[in-house]
Chain A
């Protein structure tokens, strides 16, 4: 079969775009190759690791198992869309740095996109709910606790709970009891 192409219209990081795509392309392919949005990582490419996560119409999707042609009419956000006009980091990005939630950084853009959805939801999730919301991402470096803390602190700050956010300790738990003497 000869190559098959299609024109796709969508909004990427707030900008309306039009692009000719190969129908065999995944959304990851389109975002990386046609738009140079290389924060969108190619990890497992089968929906298991979350490194390719982008926000589509307000919900996090794995762009590796999403056809580029399905982007028609959609509003898509990648990590590049979170920074300010001068490259200023958003609060969730800064929190990942401050909490040491990044080591090699491969999982980071995906994690931050899901975290962005969480902190902008206006909801206060319990620790268990937060863990479940983050469970679609794999990180082979950090051991997750620092990521969890970055997300929890930013969520609390978005809700105006600044004091509580500062209390989130190394376990990521706001009201964690003092460690037992024998621990």
Chain B
């Protein structure tokens, strides 16, 4: 038995908003792989919950009329990985969420929960940052869209207003068109372990595959919230694909990231692996995009 004060089950998005307005103390329950565990641990014991888990309207991946990839917030990790639209346009996201926990966690965990928890180690976060995802929120005042970099405010705090719920994550066409990316999760175990640091890179190459048209790199656990390494990106954009530029790019990430010491790993280790991961993820992205690295 969970220590739950009351459970309100939403029957639609509008119903969820109404329930959240009626019960301002209540917390949103999606898949529960954070919330229910924290109730067991006592950290969230005695809470009121608004369950949105049964809202199938928030599940699934589609291409909307603006040609955005639209990922319903309740889509589970396992369904994201299996989805043909994800595999075709942003395969790296499917690969990244396939590294969350173990298979049963990926069946219950949702991408909405993975972003709304505001956790820097969330395995989807660095990739969503690196692909300039847009967060769609629905609340009493209607629908609003927030770029993911503004959605994260500080550790465990995101821009969700009272009675709002996250309804979708959008990847604009400009962001996914001709883009190829790779995610590396560095952790002590291959399963059921949180990332020490995670790094997601994607590239768009010129038509002759000789220069970087656009490079983006996102990190988890390189700062209190998921972040980008904009200085390193700016350095590489428009540059020729060669060893020297790749190495310089990887070293430059240290100007942007700000990892800290924790019981999982020290700052020096995180800095070191961040550079190594940047280089490796970039090389793999180039390969996926059909480019070759000139010595």
A25 surroundings in chain B (CB, below 8 A) = 1-2
Is B143 an interface residue when CB atoms closer than 8 A count as contact?
no
Interface string of B1-22 (1 = CB under 8 A from A): 1111111010000000000000
**Interface-facing stretch out of B101-109, B116-124, B196-204, B214-222:** B101-109
Interfacial chain B residues near A61, Cβ < 8 Å? 104, 107-108
Cα distance A59–B191 in the bound complex, in angstroms: 18
Please name the residue on chain A nearest to B48 by beta carbon: A1
Structural contact, B1 and A46, CB atoms closer than 8 A: no
Within 8 A of B (CB), among A1-51: 1, 4, 6, 22-26, 29, 45-48, 50
Please tell me if the beta carbons of B4 and A23 are within 8 angstroms of each other in the complex: yes
Point out the residue from A24, A47, A59, A67 that lies within 8 Å of B78, measured CB to CB.
A59
Q: Do residues A47 and B105 form an inter-chain contact, with CB atoms below 8 A? A: yes
Is A93 in contact with chain B by the CB < 8 A criterion?
Answer: no
- Could you tell me if B9 and A62 are in contact, using CB atoms closer than 8 angstroms? no
Closest to A48 in B: B192
Query: Do B190 and A24 have beta carbons less than 8 Å apart?
Result: no
Bound CA–CA A132/B190 (angstroms): 8
Chain B interface residue number, banded: 20 to 34
**CB < 8 Å neighbour of A65 from B1, B33, B54, B191:** B33
Whether A132 contacts B2 by the Cβ 8 Å rule is no
Give CA–CA (A35, B52) in the complex, Å. Answer: 26
> Chain A 53-97, CB within 8 Å of chain B: the 1/0 string?
100100111100111011010000000000000000000000000
Contacting chain A: which of B36-44, B150-158, B245-253, B278-286?
A: B36-44
Encoded as 1 (CB less than 8 Å from any A CB) or 0, chain B from 60 to 104 comes to 000000000000000000100000000000000000000001111
Q: Which residues of the other chain, B, contact A22 by a CB distance below 8 angstroms? A: 1
A4 touches B6 (CB 8 A): yes
Minimal Cβ-Cβ distance residue in A for B7: A23
Q: Are A47 and B103 also in contact (CB < 8 A) when A135-B191, A135-B192 are?
A: no
- Given A47-B104, A59-B107, A60-B104, check contact A65 B3 (CB 8 Å): no
Q: Is there a chain A Cβ closer than 8 Å to B238's Cβ?
A: no
For residue A45, give the distance in angstroms from its CB to the closest CB of chain B: 6
B172 contacts the other chain (Cβ, under 8 Å)? no
Determine whether the beta carbon of A65 is less than 8 Å from that of B6: no
Residue of A6, A45, A136 touching B102 (CB-CB under 8 A) = A136
Does any Cβ of B come within 8 Å of A146's Cβ? no
Question: Does A108 interact with chain B (Cβ within 8 Å)?
Answer: no
Q: Which residues on the B side are within 8 Å of A6 (C-beta)?
A: 9
Determine the distance from Cα of A145 to Cα of B213 in the docked complex, in whole angstroms: 48
**Set A45, A47, A60, A70: member contacting B33, Cβ < 8 A:** A47
Q: Mark A164-182, 1 if CB is under 8 A from B, else 0.
A: 0000000000000000000
Does A141 touch B at the CB level, under 8 Å?
no
B35 nearest in chain A by CB position: A65
* Contact of A136 with B105 at beta-carbon distance under 8 Å, contacts A25-B1, A59-B78 already known: yes
Q: Is A154 an interface residue when CB atoms closer than 8 A count as contact?
A: no
B126 interface residue, CB < 8 Å from A?
Answer: no
Q: What is the bound-complex CA distance between A137 and B192, given in angstroms?
A: 10
Q: Which residues of B contact A66 (CB under 8 A)?
A: 32, 108
Binding site for B on A (CB under 8 A): 1, 4, 6, 22-26, 29, 45-48, 50, 53, 56, 59-62, 65-67, 69-70, 72, 114, 132-133, 135-137
Binding site for A on B (CB under 8 A): 1-7, 9, 32-33, 36-37, 40-41, 51, 53-54, 78, 101-105, 107-108, 190-192
CB-based closest 3 A-B pairs: A136-B102, A135-B191, A23-B7
Known: A48-B192, A70-B51, A132-B103. 9 other contacts (CB 8 A): A53-B104, A60-B104, A65-B108, A66-B108, A67-B2, A67-B53, A69-B7, A135-B103, A135-B192
